[in-house]
Structure 1
Amino acid sequence: MVPCYQRLEKMQVMSSQWKSKKIAHWALLPVLSIMLMNLGCATVGPDYASPNLSAPEAWHAELEGGLRAKPVDPETLGHWWSVLNDPVLSSLISQAVVGNLDLKVARARVRQARANRRINQANWFPTMDAVGSFRKSRSSENSGSGTETDLSAVGFDAVWELDIFGGTRRSVEAATADLQAISEDLHDVLVTLLAEVALNYVEARTFQVRLAVAEQNLRAQQETYQLTSWRSQAGLTTDLAVQQAKYNLESTRSQIPTLRTGLEGAMNRIAVLLGRHPGALHKILEEPRPIPAARMEVTVGVPADTLRHRPDVRRAERQLAAQTARVGVAVAELYPKLTLLGSIGVESLTVSDLFVPGSRTYSFGPSISWPIFNAGAIRSNIEAQSALQEQALGEYEGTVLSALEEVENALVAYVQEQNRRQALAESAQAAKIAVQLAETQFEAGLIDFNNVLDAQRSLLTFQDQLAESQGTVTSNLIRLYKALGGGWTSLARAATQ
């Protein structure tokens, strides 16, 4: 079978020959129409093939601290926040899926993409218009009879452009891929939203724990300050020790406003993420609760599984597919377009005779258009669309690398923060014992008061860092689930409604 493009080249040669023989243009129309109807051409332009995922067989980071390379449990990954065993957090996430404004915008984009696809699909079918007109005219007395005439007409006009070379099919293909890409964008917004709600929730609980640590140390330092003042009045110590106890006390007091500011910001941020006014969730969140903690074992699978699951990678792949189809749309502009035209109706000089048999009118026939000269605009557009396809491929490959980088960094951060938390826990325990020993020895007159101050400052520092590290461990676990693309599968249907 002769390839389609070779038959088109032959048609172009024949057309040139006919023109050289000065054959009337109207005579070419039926001949070209018959030839086009019998071409049986396939859809022009490149057919899309999904690029091969270039991913390592295993993660580079050492899987320690409860990380396992076993296949990821879809149920756990879909509801990853449930491993934190915090009903308040679970409730906030459910509210965010309903009220978040970014999610509402993403839903609207999906609806827009669906409508755009229906618009492109409509080009497959003929269009029909109902028309009606009434015209009153009078001829000149100097050039005619000077009489008035009325003309009434009612009918239907139909136009159908046959998709011979697949331009419409490619446009529908592009619109379908666009819809899929925007749906993946909605999933990506969902993944980010769930992670942001959880991260800010953990941050709020961390600030509450740090506030409790600071207030507990503040009370202990107040007792030390009072004891030192009494000892100074009794002549058992100098005023220097009193002033040292005071600035240690006020230094701790100065940290509390900063922690309260951070807590307020985290709670307000959660409210905004849920689509509510700042301060709307204070009654729910102001009661202190411990920092959520998850079980130690976390399955992370292999890189290829993560890439297939992440919405941003899936979106980039669909964007590449859409742009590949647009190359075909541009290529189709090189070839002839065959349109079937028809109309049927009634026409009469009097309204009373409008619907009698003699008033019927009709016309039908094919119309063909073929771009002959456009200063290279069509081929330039093909080149531009092909360049955009190369860009989409590069963006897809870049998205794959960024996804792998995000997971690798999350794996390392989760493991290393656990090591840091363990060291801080031991430091805080040692500092607590040191404070007790320093206070006992100072009261016995065995050591200088500076040793008590140093021990108290160290205890506050280590306890504050330990609380912060506990929050960071949980936050890094959340970031790891986000990097794995967790959360969107279980709530995708609710998010699209």
Structure 2
Amino acid sequence: MPIKNIHSFVLLFMLTGCSVVGPAYSPPEIEVGKNWTAQYQQTVQEQSSTLASWWNTLEDPQLIDLIDQALLHNLDLQEVQSRVRQARLERIVTRASLFPTLDGSGSARKSYTRDSGGEGRETDAYSAGFDASWEIDLFGGVRKSVEASQADYEASVESLRDTRVSLIAEVALDYIQVRTYQERLRVARENILSQQQTLDLLTALSKAGRGDELAIAQARYNLESSKANIPDMQTGFQEYINSLAILTGKPAGTLQQQFLEQRPIPTASMELAIGVPADLLRRRPDIRQAERELAAQTARVGEAKAELYPKLSLTGSIGLEAISADKLINAPTRLWSLGPTFSWPIFRAGALRNQVKIEDEQMQQQILQYKAAVLNATEEVENAIIAYANEQQKLQRLQEGSKAARLAEQLAEHQYATGMTGFSDVLDAQRSLLSFEDQIAQSSGTVLSNLIRLYKALGGGWQSMSETDAPHTTVTKTNPTR
């Protein structure tokens, strides 16, 4: 075929058939409320900088350091980072399909032939050449493949961001548990000391002839009951320290020295930057990941549809042949070829059309998963707001109850000393006071834990990622409609 005819053939196909098949994509429209149903009174206008690094508002240097260590050394996070790098490389590999390929080849052969007269002859043959090919993307199958690969990469970045959000929250929650157990142990030991002093006083009175054996027995079992709570608290205390070690990429048992010093449970401002429900669509990494996965699947529908249409490739080769290696460059024999290759699937027993239907069903599933991600996110925020507000009310009631229990203990001890009541009233007052103080310690930790869960539900934390952690990506918005 003459060169000009080849050019005309290629140009004809490019002009008549160069169109992208398959659905165009944009995220589905999802309606969310303008405000949260669960309202929190002390809210302020949203500040992105506060939400981006919310743990700094707790003003606890040790917590901040642990989060920094986790972001550097956590193994799960490193695995997700590796998957992001893999997705980036896969995107590069897929994009290579848009460009022509060029392969070089060469050979050297020695052959021997013998004629009927018994005479033989050896011959040498040398060849070298280049082969080129380029599939012209007439119906956008390759471009859809590249689009899916790009969306997969962006989804992997959002997965990394979601892992960061969860990791930061998990470190903070474990740290609060460590400080909560420390506070509970402090309360328990102070009460044990007070109960020991009461037992010692009763024992001294008994030796002085003013003994009350029943009171001594009651004081003793009350003391031992309080001591029995210590081992379980110490177990929980050590378990959460070990959990922090694992989260920061260290062996269990390596952080105990850092928690020898008693420190209070961190406190946070009661004012929160909650924002509105629509903010979740741009802030929550898991929602954006689901949206990118939907974009990738929508592109795969188009990729499958392109398989139904003709394919056109332009191939060419050039080569040299000679009977000796030194004559190869100046070989008299030069070969070349150039021409289009055309193919069109005519009969595949419905396999290609059904593959399109399969990809389409998977796209519908991704739409549902995206919508479910939004609904789950709004539920998490609503529940976190309710839990945070109600736990604060519970803490206030416990604090008031603790004041009353301490007064009751003082009155019971005074009345027992004056003979107005039995020692059982003193025991009841001591147990009530210990219970209230222990609940206050737990509730204080729960208030802060609920705040952390609220920040996590709001998607706080991923915004602090550097360009190295997550390369900049541009989200393409299209509509999964046929």
Identical residues among aligned pairs (%): 49
Q: In structure 2, do the counterparts of structure 1 residues 490 and 144 end up closer, same or farther at CA, with 3 Å as the change threshold?
A: farther
Shift of 1:412: 0.1
- Which residue of structure 1 lines up, in the alignment, with residue 69 of structure 2? 95
Matched AA of 1:415: A
Q: Which residue of 2 aligns with 1:36?
A: 13
Tell me how far 1:31 sits from its aligned partner: 8.9
Q: Which amino acid aligns with 1:430?
A: A
- Determine helix, strand or coil for the equivalent of 2:394: helix
Aligned to 2:480: none
The Cα shift of 1:140 comes to: 5.1
Contact 1:307 1:403 (8 Å CA) reproduced: no
Number of positions where the alignment pairs a residue of Structure 1 with one of Structure 2: 467
- After TM superposition, which residue ranges in structure 1, 4 or more long, deviate above 6 angstroms? 28-32
Q: Secondary structure at the match of 1:495?
A: coil
In structure 1, how many angstroms separate the alpha carbons of the residues matched to 2:69 and 2:444?
A: 26
Maintained 8 Å contact 1:97/1:495: no
1:178–1:319 CA contact under 8 A, matched in 2: yes
Equivalents in 2 of 1:144, 1:181: separation in Å?
72
Unpaired runs of at least 5, structure 1: 1-27
On the 8 A contact 2:159/2:285 being kept in 1, the answer is: yes
CA distance in 1, matches of 2:308, 2:293: 24
TM-score w.r.t. length of structure 1: 0.91
Tell me which moved more, 322-331 or 223-232: 223-232
The answer for the alignment partner of 1:104 in structure 2 is: 78
Deviations 1:434-462 (A, max 9, x none): 11111121111111000010011111100
Change over 3 Å in CA distance of 1:324–1:257 after alignment to 2: same
Distance 2:192 2:133 in 1: 84
CA distance in 1, matches of 2:368, 2:267: 39
Q: Describe the SS at the equivalent of 1:391.
A: helix
Q: C-alpha displacement at 1:278, in angstroms?
A: 1.2
Deviation at 1:145, TM superposition (A): 7.3
Q: Distance in 2 between matches of 1:59 and 1:313?
A: 18
Match of 1:343, SS state, is strand
8 Å CA contact 1:160, 1:339 repeated in 2: yes
2:201 partner SS: helix
Opposite residue 74 of structure 2, the aligned amino acid is N
Q: Report the equivalent of 2:30.
A: 53
What one-letter code is carried by the residue in structure 2 that aligns with 1:354? L
* Cα separation, 2, equivalents of 1:148 and 1:376: 55
C-alpha displacement of 1:252? 0.5
The offset of 1:34, in angstroms, is 5.6
SS at match of 2:467: helix
Correspondence 1:476 to 2:454? no
Measure the CA separation in 2 of the matches of 1:312 and 1:332: 31
CA contact (8 A) 1:353 1:359 kept: no
The answer to whether the 8 A contact 2:322-2:331 is kept is no
2:157 matched residue in structure 1: 183
| 8 Å contact from structure 1 (residues 159, 342) kept in 2 | yes
With the length of structure 2 as denominator, give the TM-score of the two structures: 0.93
Conserved in 2, the CA contact under 8 Å of 1:33 and 1:366? Answer: yes
CA RMSD of the aligned region, Å? 1.9
Contact 1:187 1:492 in 2 (8 A): no
User: Partners in 2 of 1:405 and 1:304 — Cα distance?
Assistant: 13
**Structure 1 residues 50-72: Cα deviation after superposition (integer angstroms, max 9, x where no partner):** 111321111011323x2x2x542
1:206 to 1:494, Cα distance in 2 relative to 1, 3 A: farther
Match of 1:149 in 2: 123
More displaced stretch, 276-285 vs 214-223: 276-285
Q: For 1:34 and 1:81, how far apart are their aligned partners in 2?
A: 61
Contact 1:97 1:494 survives alignment (8 Å): no
Contact 1:53 1:304 in 2 (8 A): no
Query: Matched residue of 1:374: which SS?
Result: coil
